[in-house]
Structure 1
Amino acid sequence: MIAKKDLLSECLAEVLSKKFPTYDVVIHERDEAVTKDVESCATLVLLYRLPFEDITAVLQRLKIKNSDTSVGIVVESISKLECQLATLAESREIAGVLPANLRLDVFVAAVELLVKGGEHFPSALLHLLSSEPPSPADAALDGPLVATARPAQGATATGDTSALTTREVQILDLICDGRQNKIIADRLGLSENTVKVHIRNIYKKMKVRNRTEAASHFFGTGRSAATARQN
């Protein structure tokens, strides 16, 4: 965690330490020097209630040090930073946004998802990415976990999964499980660059812009049915 060391951040670190006993949970002040070893081996970096200019500075540093580290941002309110966070989410610079007003069990579940390589974005950001206003029913989902498995409203406006090849369906299925490109490549015996090419083709065929939209549409149109069709 990169955060101001206060009661709230230290309590959160204690909770996460108990939830993830095999991981070291450490708080670094935002101006504190972080060793290269920490940055190179960190599974997840949580930016806890930092000003946006500090967020961008940390992201730039992590991009140079270790592109495989997942980054989650804990914010006081989605509305205050909505457009800026949406830009970061769409560019894949972050893996998730966690509002500070989530219930503790939901917050911990979201962190666990990020640790496993998945994503977590509140519905307000998902709708901002799709340029659609959230409905009252979707607004009620901001408390529970909203992740890649959540079908997005308006998914029928995207492309048809029937156009995907067998290999593309295999890759999309692993994306829905929150797998990173390196893991997908190892699982399917491909190079990481080949996986990236397949993912770009998936986005083009499905008419989506990112993993969140692709996974949401895949779930919305019937993941099991598409997989069975390719088999």
Structure 2
Amino acid sequence: MYRTGSGLSDFEDNSKVLAKKSKIVMLARADLLAECLTQAISTRFQGHEVVSLSEADSLLDGNLDDVALVMLYRIPATTFPSVIRTIHEFHPRASIGLVVENADEVDTSIAGFVDEGLIHGVLPLNLHLDVCLTAIDLLMKGGEHFPAALLRRLAPKSAGLPARQEASVAALPSAQRSDIGNGVLTTREIQILDLICMGTQNKIIADRLGLSENTVKVHVRNIYKKMNVRNRTEAASHYFRHDGDANPPRWHN
């Protein structure tokens, strides 16, 4: 005997289908950082369902559909290739973000996946939480985010990576670009703005990016002009204003 649903029940069922949330998957070995990051992502992206996985085989679950982003953390280098292949095969529309302890020490084999465009973002643990969440937001929108230290390592091998990064900045939705100002920031300006948000001085920025301090000052002035701000504090505040958090948390005090 089959249950006959009323018109109202059908409407409610259809509403549930329409309200189905896309998923953000956190594939990580469980530790305090993974738990904190998962919680922060859940709070920031309430329109998505956040799924925590500890085993790569769970990516094969047939119920794990409509995945928008897969975040990887503490994945052994030996299993990394198979994990990446699984994601691309079973979740081809998902962006892939990699959380690392230090961008300067990313395993060579893993860096190769970045060079080939198979990973869409690398997020070092020393990023401020607001910067990290903004980078995740960019990945969700189909953009890319790579730290300057990693770009420097790959620059001699791949001239195309900076071009992909440049395209990702332009891919920001118009509403988000308006937060940056009337002009879209270049890749180099985005890199410098990331460092500014970490409180890095011009001299240190110059050293990290292999630039002269005068060149950095020119970039900083251009950033201020494009964002219509007067100083570093205003630049960071204006850039993250769309998060709606006047005092965003940080990884480190």
Scaled by the length of structure 2, the TM-score of the pair is: 0.51
Instruction: Name the residue aligned to 2:79.
Output: 54
Which of the residues 176, 181, 185 maps onto 2:170?
176
Q: Does 1:27 find its partner at 2:52?
A: yes
Change (3 A) 1:107 1:93: same
- The one-letter amino acid paired with 2:46 is P
Instruction: Name the residue aligned to 1:191.
Output: none
How many Å separate the matches in 2 of 1:33 and 1:79? Answer: 30
How many Å separate the matches in 2 of 1:76 and 1:57? Answer: 21
Mapped contact 1:118–1:177 kept (Cα < 8 A):
yes
Instruction: Name the residue aligned to 1:44.
Output: 69
Q: Secondary structure at the match of 2:34?
A: helix
Q: From the CA coordinates, give the structure whose radius of gyration is larger.
A: 2
How many Å separate the matches in 1 of 2:129 and 2:187? Answer: 25
Instruction: Name the residue aligned to 1:113.
Output: 138
Mapped contact 1:2–1:28 kept (Cα < 8 A):
yes
How many Å separate the matches in 2 of 1:37 and 1:70? Answer: 18
1:71-127 residue CA offsets vs partner (Å, 9 max, x unmatched): 011011222225334311121111011111211111111111111111000112212
Mapped contact 1:17–1:25 kept (Cα < 8 A):
yes
Which of the residues 137, 148, 154 maps onto 1:129?
154
Unaligned runs of 5+ in 1: 133-146, 150-171, 180-214, 221-231
Q: Percent identity?
A: 34
How many Å separate the matches in 2 of 1:101 and 1:26? Answer: 24
Query: Cα RMSD over matched residues?
Result: 2.8
Which of the residues 28, 31, 42 maps onto 1:3?
28
Instruction: Name the residue aligned to 1:187.
Output: none
How many Å separate the matches in 2 of 1:19 and 1:120? Answer: 18
Instruction: Name the residue aligned to 1:96.
Output: 121
How many Å separate the matches in 1 of 2:140 and 2:36? Answer: 19
Mapped contact 2:77–2:110 kept (Cα < 8 A):
no
- The one-letter amino acid paired with 1:120 is H
Size of the aligned set, in residue pairs, is 146
Mapped contact 1:3–1:49 kept (Cα < 8 A):
yes
Change (3 A) 1:32 1:62: closer
Mapped contact 2:27–2:56 kept (Cα < 8 A):
no
How many Å separate the matches in 1 of 2:116 and 2:73? Answer: 20
Q: Does 1:148 find its partner at 2:165?
A: yes
1:33-78 residue CA offsets vs partner (Å, 9 max, x unmatched): 231332x411000001222223222101112112221001101122
How many Å separate the matches in 2 of 1:36 and 1:91? Answer: 28
Q: Does 1:77 find its partner at 2:102?
A: yes
More strand as a share of residues: 2
1:1-36 residue CA offsets vs partner (Å, 9 max, x unmatched): 001223221121111111000001111002552313
